[in-house]
Amino acid sequence: MGFSPYQATSLAAAVDLNGPGHYLHWSIFNVSLANLVLIAVMVVIFGAAMLVRFPDGHDRGNGHAAHGDGAGTPGRTAHRRERAAEDEDDPPAHVLVPGGGAAASLDGDRTWTGAIRRAGLRLLPPGKLLPDRQPAYVASWVYVFGVATLAAFGLAIVSGFLIALGGPDWWHTNPVGHFFNSLHLWSVEMFMAFMVIHLWGKFWMAAWRGRRALTWLTGGLAFMASIVECFTGYLSQQNFDSQWISTNGKDAINATGLGGFFNLMNFGQMLLWHIVLLPIVLVAIVGAHVLLVRIRGVSHPLPQKRPRGREARRAARAADNADWTGPTRVYDIAKEAVTATAVATALVVVLAAVLSSPDAPSISIGTWARLAPADFMATATSELAGTSETATYGPPYNNASGSTQRIGISWEKLGGVRVPINAAQDFVLGPLEKIAPTQPVLASALSRYRAAPASTRSAWETAYSKALDHVKFQGGTPVVPAAADGPVPTLISTELSLARGGALDTDLLANRSFYGTDFTKPLLFLEDGEYFAQQAQAQHLEGNQWGVMNETGSYPGQPWLWLYTLWYQVPGFDNSANVDLIAIYLTGAATILLLAVPFIPGLRDIPEVVPLHRVIWRNWHRRAGGPRTPDFGLPASHEPRPSEIGR
């Protein structure tokens, strides 16, 4: 026996409030008893807030003998606190605080707020938070991409707000909305491009040196979170590209056992992850990364020659850990941020205006049935027979095992059936049963099919499937050669009529309560046919075309997914039944390696072995330092004149 959401709610509650309400009428007011109770509770709380005595704090005002040795004279405790405050560089007791008398905040020194304030000022004094000077070696365009990434990130957020003005789908039909979507697309492309370039630069600078490993970790985590954020954004588009990405990406997520909880074909779920959950996480990580950069500063230049010997390496580490005491130059961080934002905005607006954004229309079951009716009928027959991909898929949809992947352990089976789908009932029999009361012929065919043994039904389905190879259409009506197929022709031809009229799309979505944004059933039905894959192949979106990275048309897609896509092209992996799990494991291992670079000997030494850092810091080396061996064809440095140092 099933329960409605309201019944389920009442079962979970100690008191059932879903029954008829009680109302009171007075003059022009008609008020429910429940609202009156709520208002009464609010009044009681307000009265208690006014009347109940507030716990005494450690107040300190002028002339309170209770807190001193005499009227207006601070006691010994106050003097001790004053000395402690002076030791900690806090305001002395005699400093007047507006509205608080003498040293009104002295007792606040022992509060959590005071401790957090002092710790914050120690870690990040104003001179570090908003510096006006920076080390003289920061003189390369490579350094610009950090602030450029932040500027593009801000544009992505703002353009997302603009799309939200009209709702998640207005950009499909409104030219202004489409322009806003174009702004969002190109700001995101710019954000990811700048972030990757920034990551490259920091790797070749070995920017984790000098107790900056946490800075590297937060930067790597920001990159990973950005990938998931962008991925859910593509899924939220509700166009053909999002349909294809969701149906293909679901196999990898299902292989991890998470498909029933993170359903790529539930576009409503993906939209909320994209606009609520992931942005909060991403902003927090990016904020932490920026604060760590401000606290620790940028890493010092690597020496032109790699240190040899234990003592030399120890000295190099000590130098990296120490604060920079060398020459500096003027640095206007506010001007840099405004300039980067202005340039990024101009680029995004031009790209959006000139190149727009892709929006290949989504494919519905109705479109499929009208344009490829034979393929639709063959797929519907396979759903009825239980031989389609969905019918034999396995968790999280059913208990079959056709697509279950295992490397040591099957995460899918551990995850279990979380999105139950009975292909025959959900895709064929269920929709037909809803209209059967008004169609006697269909009702008779359904009764006959239900009453037949499983072996008889299987024989009918096999015979009809073979006859479909020779189907012809006369005036749009399918003509299937006669066969020993029982009532199956009536069922499938009626199913075709339902699909062509759009009723099947509606039915598969209408089975969901509330918002009709879960496209799991219609997309799985579409994926079982050949028409859907043919459209994707024409757009170069299939896996063997590196399709996960591609976008419809000539638009750039998701090149930041190249590592994940790579594993599907490797000989031996490409035809493995566990290819999705292989790709997940290897991509996960590569991700861990990226985050752990500062801690892995050999891997963290690559920037010293392949000295691209010499190019980045070439101007600094010229100015700061004596003879050296030429690198990459650059002229040997000269001894700097005094006027050059710190310029």
The stretch 514-539 carries a mean pLDDT of 93
Q: Does 600 or 115 have the greater pLDDT score?
A: 600
Question: Which of the given ranges, 99-113, 125-139, 469-483, has the highest pLDDT on average?
Answer: 469-483
User: Are both 459 and 519 inside the same structural domain?
Assistant: yes
C-alpha 530: how far from chain center: 31
User: Are both 468 and 494 inside the same structural domain?
Assistant: yes
Angle among Cα 302, 306, 307 to the nearest 5 degrees reads: 105
Residue 610 structure tokens: 């392949």
User: Are both 429 and 533 inside the same structural domain?
Assistant: yes
pLDDT of 430 over the 50 cut = yes
pLDDT of 184 over the 70 cut = yes
Tell me whether residue 434 is in a domain: yes
Q: What is the pLDDT of residue 96?
A: 43
pLDDT of 67 over the 70 cut = no
- Domain containing residue 239: CATH number: 1.20.810.10
Please state, rounded to an integer, the average pLDDT across all residues of the chain: 86
pLDDT tens readout for residues 454-467: 999 999 999 999 99
User: Are both 354 and 369 inside the same structural domain?
Assistant: no
The count of domains in the chain is 2
Query: 235-245: b or e for each residue (b if 16 or more CB lie within 10 Å)?
Result: bbbbbbbbbbb
User: Are both 260 and 336 inside the same structural domain?
Assistant: yes
Select from 107, 187, 94 the least CA-distant residue to 148.
187
Q: What is the DSSP letter of 277?
A: I
pLDDT tier at 593, thresholds 50, 70, 90: very high
Residue whose structure tokens are 């004279």: 73
pLDDT of 178 over the 50 cut = yes
Q: What is the DSSP letter of 132?
A: S
User: Are both 161 and 307 inside the same structural domain?
Assistant: yes
Tell me whether residue 457 is in a domain: yes
Tell me whether residue 94 is in a domain: no
User: Are both 227 and 308 inside the same structural domain?
Assistant: yes
How far is 417 from 399, CA to CA, in rounded Å? 7
* Cis amide linkage into residue 630, ω under 30° from 0: no
Residue 271 structure tokens: 């939209």
Residue whose structure tokens are 């066969």: 483
Provide the H-helix boundaries in 322-372: 333-355, 365-371
Q: What is the pLDDT of residue 105?
A: 52
Q: What is the DSSP letter of 640?
A: P
Q: What is the pLDDT of residue 397?
A: 97
Q: What is the DSSP letter of 577?
A: T
At 503, the amino acid letter reads A
Question: Which of the given ranges, 267-271, 322-326, 542-546, has the highest pLDDT on average?
Answer: 267-271
Which residues on neighbouring strands pair with residue 133, listed in sequence order?
A: 330
Tell me whether residue 627 is in a domain: no
How far is 366 from 146, CA to CA, in rounded Å? 48
pLDDT above 70: percentage of residues in the chain = 85
Q: Which helix (H) or strand (E) covers residue 133, if one does? A: strand 133-135
Q: What is the pLDDT of residue 403?
A: 94
Tell me whether residue 564 is in a domain: yes
Q: Does 253 or 101 have the greater pLDDT score?
A: 253
pLDDT of 412 over the 80 cut = yes
Evaluate whether 361 touches 473 at the Cβ level (below 8 Å): no
Q: What is the pLDDT of residue 107?
A: 54
Q: Does 118 or 527 have the greater pLDDT score?
A: 527
Tell me whether residue 526 is in a domain: yes
Tell me whether residue 605 is in a domain: yes
Angle among Cα 590, 593, 596 to the nearest 5 degrees reads: 155
Range of the domain at 305: 139-313+322-360+556-616
User: Are both 165 and 282 inside the same structural domain?
Assistant: yes
Question: Which segments of 10-126 are extended strands (E)?
Answer: 23-26, 29-32, 68-70, 73-74, 96-97, 101-102
User: Are both 454 and 379 inside the same structural domain?
Assistant: yes
Q: Does 644 or 38 have the greater pLDDT score?
A: 38
Q: Does 647 or 197 have the greater pLDDT score?
A: 197
How far is 214 from 220, CA to CA, in rounded Å? 10
Let me know how long the chain is.
Answer: 647
Instruction: Name which of 83-87, 182-186, 274-278, 290-294 the model is least confident about.
Output: 83-87
Tell me whether residue 132 is in a domain: no
pLDDT of 171 over the 70 cut = yes
pLDDT of 282 over the 90 cut = yes
Residue whose structure tokens are 């340039």: 343
User: Are both 343 and 272 inside the same structural domain?
Assistant: yes
At 417, the amino acid letter reads V
- In a 10 Å sphere around its CB, with 0-12 CB exposed, 13-18 middle and 19+ buried, how is residue 283 labelled? middle
Which of 538, 565, 580 is the endpoint of a domain?
A: 538
pLDDT above 90: percentage of residues in the chain = 65
How far is 289 from 224, CA to CA, in rounded Å? 13
Residue 308 structure tokens: 């040899």
Q: Which helix (H) or strand (E) covers residue 451, if one does? A: helix 440-451
Q: What is the pLDDT of residue 88?
A: 46
Residue 294 structure tokens: 């401000």
pLDDT of 68 over the 60 cut = no
Q: What is the pLDDT of residue 511?
A: 64
User: Are both 381 and 326 inside the same structural domain?
Assistant: no
Q: What is the pLDDT of residue 200?
A: 94
The stretch 605-631 carries a mean pLDDT of 77
pLDDT of 647 over the 70 cut = no
Q: What is the pLDDT of residue 75?
A: 46
The stretch 561-589 carries a mean pLDDT of 94
How far is 189 from 192, CA to CA, in rounded Å? 5
Which residues on neighbouring strands pair with residue 473, listed in sequence order?
A: 478
Q: What is the pLDDT of residue 155?
A: 97
Helix (H), strand (E), coil (C) string for 285-316: HHHHHHHHHHHHCCCCCCCCCCCCCHHHHHHH
User: Are both 523 and 569 inside the same structural domain?
Assistant: no
How far is 185 from 557, CA to CA, in rounded Å? 10
Which of 484, 504, 538 is the endpoint of a domain?
A: 538
